[in-house]
Amino acid sequence: MGYTYVMKNRVKKNTTTQEIEEFIEKIRSEYVLLHKRYEELFWIVYMGNQKFSKKKYDAQKKKEDFQNNEKYLTKINEYLSMCAQEKQKKSLHIWKNFFELYHTPKDMVSVKDAATNLESKMQKKTATRKEGYIDPYSHKFIASSYIAMRTIISTHEDEKVRKACFLATEQLAETNLDDYVAYVKTLNQYARGLGFEDFYAFKLMQEEGMTKKELFAVFDPIYEKTKFAFKDMRILEKKMLGVRSPWNMSYMMSGNFIKEEDQYFPFDEALTRWGQSFQRMGVDYKEGTMQLDLLDRKRKYANGFCHWPTIVHYKEDKIIPGHANFTCNVVYGQVGSASNGYHTLFHEGGHAAHYLNTVQKETCLNSEYPPASTAWAETQSMFFDSVYSTFEWKQSYAKNKKGEVYSLELFERKLKKLSIRKPLGLSSILMISNFERDIYECKNLTKEKVKKIARYNFKKFTDMSEDSLWLLNVPHIYSWSSACSYHGYGLADLAQTQWRAYFKKKYGYIVDNPKVGKEMTKVWALGAKYSFKEFVKMATGTHLSPHAWIKENTKSVQKIIQEARALVKSREVFHEAKKKRAHIDRPINLNAKILMVNGEEKITDNSNSFEKMADDYAKWLNKQ
Ligand SMILES: [Zn+2]
């Protein structure tokens, strides 16, 4: 009897290690599979084929059920209590954190449901409301969507029409006021049920691992150090009457450079310039597959994005490369539209590089979803799109069909016209973040208080001449996933500016510098293993701070021009040297399999060469 007992115990121990290993392996691959099924359908539907909507919904539900699987969480806790292996313990802890992140405690399920119901109610009300403005001449109602009216406000040449649209959007801002008050209370109840001060604190900790105190310690100095620009605007107003009105500001300050700049960004050369720039910056897509759908189409989703149907994973210790898709809405031939395409190739191309370079064994660390930080993901993409927007890049790559380079003269003229508002570049993000923080901290919230907080923050962060409820038209504040998350874009901008300053200091230049990509690759490999602020410290060598951003965005026009002129000189020297360096002109190879598609139509791929693909694509474009 005794003997059998001992035997059983020993067998049980070995089985446990084996069992844990199998369990970890099972959840790793289950995650990859459910993610893939959902994302593949997501792409098809977002590219315009609505027939798969139901299937997509079902796949999403299956993925959510996995994430909220209480049995897995219990099992992990059980294994953790008996696990002896350090390696296994680490893996189990990562998954424990993952499942806890998506878990709704039983007593909070009804609160979450109430929030979801309010959300759909608000969405429905917004989608079915009457939208339009009163024509200032005919006094008739003109049906026009909110988005269309925003475009009129920034582009219509008649001030009366712009103002009419502004007044109409002010009314729309009150669409969901009652429900919004109830919604905020519900979200706060949920967050408090989980032990947080309020929903803002909960969201910020969950997504970025930060406290409100930490976030606003970084944000507040930006307001203080840039508000001098409001004074400059008041001085400008004396010459430019009415510029501080909310229906005039963006129209009067835009400056018409779109048409003049367009010639330097021919879209049929975009692929080549992207390929060259990324290769020369040392970006390697690690044998991943990429599918690019760049033109606008009817029924296609109206915003650019990147996602990864296959996340990087392992099969018996062999790494399986990922698969990324990215898209945008270029209207080929429309003035200004190509620059949107360039922006996408750099922005989404940066996103793609990030998660195709992850090598974590725990697959939940290789995707863009939490525990991954949005701010950290945006840091990568914004890093590359800001490289594209620099004079440094334009000087090397932006040429028109005659071979003329984007000139210093154009750069200076644009700078002089637009620089007055440059220090205020983060003010909308600061405004939305401060507004939501105030809302979620407000005791006994009422409709009147919501309006008061909205007006107060609008005035503070825009210094416009009229009050506005603009903040209540920001769609992000009405949904669980995007409420109290807007700071992510601001954090990313701070981080990428800090990172660029670090590279500039270390190497002197970024464009065509292969060491930049090499350093970035090292942190990309870590996936979502660390929090945003840990990553920033690791990448840039210093803690996240607003200093680099403030320094960069409050530079005097003279200083910027000086730097640009110096750059032109050093570029001339550089180009001479470049001619002698063969590596820079080698064929483009991003170490990826690239497919150019248009919906379900395959246009070309790089199986012969990147150059052949770019050529085929240009030919196809010119037949459109
Ligand atoms: Zn992005």
- What CATH number is attached to the domain comprising 273? 1.10.1370.40
Q: Hey, is 322 helix, strand or coil?
A: coil
At 7 the pLDDT is 47
215 part of a folded domain: no
> Residue 351 Cα, ligand 1 centroid: separation in angstroms?
7
At 104 the pLDDT is 87
Residue 501: both structure tokens together: 């300053």
> Residue 380 Cα, ligand 1 centroid: separation in angstroms?
8
**pLDDT at residue 378 above 80?**
yes
- Residue with the larger pLDDT of the pair 481 and 293: 293
- Confidence category of residue 24, pLDDT binned at 50, 70, 90: very high
Using the 3D structure, point to which of 55, 73, 105 is the last residue of a domain. 105
Nearest to 514 by CA among 607, 586, 619, 609: 586
| Host domain of residue 393 | 268-423+492-623
At 274 the pLDDT is 97
Asked if residues 274 and 346 have their Cβ atoms less than 8 Å apart, the reply is yes
Q: What is the mean pLDDT of the chain?
A: 92
> Residue 38 Cα, ligand 1 centroid: separation in angstroms?
20
Asked if residues 547 and 395 have their Cβ atoms less than 8 Å apart, the reply is no
327 part of a folded domain: yes
254 part of a folded domain: no
> Residue 590 Cα, ligand 1 centroid: separation in angstroms?
20
Tell me, what amino acid is at 356?
Answer: L
**pLDDT at residue 12 above 60?**
no
- Confidence category of residue 220, pLDDT binned at 50, 70, 90: very high
* Span between the terminal Cα atoms of the chain, in Å: 83
Nearest to 125 by CA among 469, 446, 475: 475
> How far apart, in whole angstroms, are the C-alpha atoms of residue 172 and residue 472?
9
Using the 3D structure, point to which of 50, 70, 105 is the last residue of a domain. 105
At 583 the pLDDT is 55
> How far apart, in whole angstroms, are the C-alpha atoms of residue 527 and residue 530?
8
At 155 the pLDDT is 83
Using the 3D structure, point to which of 58, 83, 105 is the last residue of a domain. 105
> Residue 206 Cα, ligand 1 centroid: separation in angstroms?
19
At 147 the pLDDT is 80
> How far apart, in whole angstroms, are the C-alpha atoms of residue 332 and residue 296?
8
Asked if residues 441 and 457 have their Cβ atoms less than 8 Å apart, the reply is no
454 part of a folded domain: no
- Residue with the larger pLDDT of the pair 430 and 566: 430
235 part of a folded domain: no
32 part of a folded domain: yes
* Alpha helices for 476-545 (secondary structure H): 487-507, 514-524, 532-540
> Residue 107 Cα, ligand 1 centroid: separation in angstroms?
35
Residue 495: both structure tokens together: 């981080």
pTM of the entire structure? Answer: 0.91
- Confidence category of residue 301, pLDDT binned at 50, 70, 90: confident
At 13 the pLDDT is 55
pLDDT-wise least confident of 149-153, 191-195, 287-291, 556-560: 149-153
- The neighbour count for residue 379, using CB atoms within 10 Å, is 29
608 part of a folded domain: yes
> Residue 328 Cα, ligand 1 centroid: separation in angstroms?
12
Q: In the chain, what is the greatest distance between 2 CA atoms, to the nearest angstrom? A: 100
Q: Residue 25: what are its φ and ψ, rounded to 5°?
A: -60, -40
**pLDDT at residue 579 above 70?**
no
> How far apart, in whole angstroms, are the C-alpha atoms of residue 595 and residue 581?
30
At 586 the pLDDT is 79
What's the mean pLDDT in 26-47?
A: 96
pLDDT-wise least confident of 75-79, 470-474, 585-589: 585-589
> Residue 493 Cα, ligand 1 centroid: separation in angstroms?
11
> Residue 488 Cα, ligand 1 centroid: separation in angstroms?
11
534 part of a folded domain: yes
Provide the Cα torsion 343, 349, 354, 357; round to 10°: -160
**pLDDT at residue 574 above 80?**
no
The 10s digit of each residue's pLDDT in 55-69 is 999 999 999 999 999
Residues 6+ apart with CB under 8 A from 510: 281, 387, 390, 392, 500, 503, 504, 516
> How far apart, in whole angstroms, are the C-alpha atoms of residue 349 and residue 385?
9
Cα 103 versus chain centre, distance:
25
The total domain count for the chain is 2
At 4 the pLDDT is 44
What's the mean pLDDT in 524-529?
A: 97
463: exposed, middle or buried (C-beta count within 10 Å: 0-12, 13-18, 19+)?
middle
**pLDDT at residue 377 above 60?**
yes
What's the mean pLDDT in 353-379?
A: 96
**pLDDT at residue 127 above 50?**
yes
**pLDDT at residue 110 above 60?**
yes
